Amino acid sequence: MTPAHKQATSSLTTKQKSNLKSPIKDVNERLNEVQPCFDPDHILFSPGLRVVDHFSDRIVFHSPYSSSDEDTFKHIQRLNQAFKNAQTPSHSTAIIADGGVKKSNVVSAVAHTWSDYHVIKQAHAQAMNIIPVEAELMAIRIGLIPAMENPMNHFILVVTDAISAAKQILESRPNSLQKAILPIASSMKSFLEKDRRNSIYFWQYPNKAQWPRHKLVDEQVKVAENLPVHPSRNSFLFSRKKECDDVLKEWQTAFSSGKKKGQLFLEFEDDKQSVIKPTYSKGGSWLPSISFSNALCARFTCMTTGHAPIGEYHQRFFPNASLSCPCGQANPQT
């Protein structure tokens, strides 16, 4: 048995252990003791919840073996052959999907449906205030779901440059993308249960390969200019910012109209001779302007809040104590 380190907590006396701070104890326990650290929601503990658990042979993902030019070239060759195989039979179709965020913060999702070497259907959707992975999932959704609803289709090929987003459709654990994932997963489950011939193959498209058919979709994502007339502002971050702005505005209004302004709280002007308004960001409104030293900050805070050894302070916090000046005539200091 390996002896304990001479500085290990187990070698300390009872008195020494009693003087230890709790963070040190926590670190010691985590480093030297076995802790139950496995995720209780891990997929190993809940088998059978994912769609792929029941249809593993009919949901297939293809990606390049590496990012090398040689593997990319071989992958594109296999992709061309898979695309060709999906064009000739009447029961097969191919979906090429792409999504992206433009500088105007408008997110576009585009999907082209191919059959018999022609684009037989185009789908386009736009939104605002969402992340790029949601755009990729939306592009897959608007192309894949209509294809699965066609009773003639048994084999569907989906080409995307975001294969990692497509794989999240099959995850069972809760995450922030559930609203985008659940409709696709539910439709895939129904499609695969309907007929044992039905299958879905996802193929990764490497961006550096410049595959012409994917380039058509990518260009449509970039040139789309149909902005929503009333942009959606229902995102969590936007709502949180609006709530913070409303609280701050209410705070500033109460401060400017408060009866104690000019007495317990004083007005100060910035370099442009504008009255400084209260804020919670970047250290507040006034402290950044006078934070040359701790002593100056302390004196400034005492002055603005009236928290100092003066008569007004004693009158506020010690109302039962005597406030009279030794001369018996002066008013309490302010």
Q: Please report, for residues 136, 155, 286, the alpha-carbon distance to residue 282 in angstroms, rounded to integers and kept in the order given.
A: 36, 57, 10
Any domain includes 329: no
Per-residue pLDDT tens over the stretch 95-110: 999 988 766 677 889 9
Kindly state the average pLDDT of the residues 258-274: 69
- CA torsion sign, 212 to 222 to 111 to 138? positive
Average pLDDT of the residues of the chain: 77
Any domain includes 325: no
Any domain includes 304: no
Q: Where would I find the beta strands (DSSP E) of 63-141?
A: 92-101, 106-115, 118-128
Instruction: Give the Cα separation of 140 and 252 in Å (integer).
Output: 47
CA 167 from chain center: how many Å? 18
CB atoms within 10 A of CB 153: 22
Query: Of 10-14, 83-87, 157-161, 167-171, which range is least confident?
Result: 10-14
Any domain includes 271: no
Instruction: Give the Cα separation of 67 and 206 in Å (integer).
Output: 9
Candidate ranges 11-20, 36-45, 161-170, 175-184; pick with highest mean pLDDT: 161-170
Candidate ranges 119-128, 135-144, 162-171; pick with highest mean pLDDT: 135-144
163: domain CATH number?
Answer: 3.30.420.10
Any domain includes 42: no
Number of folded domains in the chain?
A: 1
Among left, alpha and beta (phi > 0; psi -120 to 50; other), residue 116 is left
Asked if the model's pLDDT at residue 271 lies above 70, the reply is yes
Q: Where would I find the beta strands (DSSP E) of the chain?
A: 59-62, 92-101, 106-115, 118-128, 155-160, 199-204
The pLDDT of residue 110 is: 92
The pLDDT of residue 231 is: 46
Any domain includes 294: no
Any domain includes 148: yes
Any domain includes 67: yes
Range of the domain at 113: 51-223
Per-residue pLDDT tens over the stretch 42-94: 555 555 556 666 777 888 899 988 888 889 899 999 999 999 999 887 889 99
Rg of the chain (C-alpha set): 33
Label residue 34 by pLDDT band (50, 70, 90): very low
Label residue 159 by pLDDT band (50, 70, 90): very high
Which among 238, 231, 146, 139 is positioned nearest to 187, based on CA atoms? 146
- Whole-number percent of the chain with pLDDT over 90: 17
Kindly state the average pLDDT of the residues 311-328: 77
Asked if the model's pLDDT at residue 200 lies above 90, the reply is yes
- pTM, 2 dp: 0.55
Instruction: Give the Cα separation of 298 and 295 in Å (integer).
Output: 5
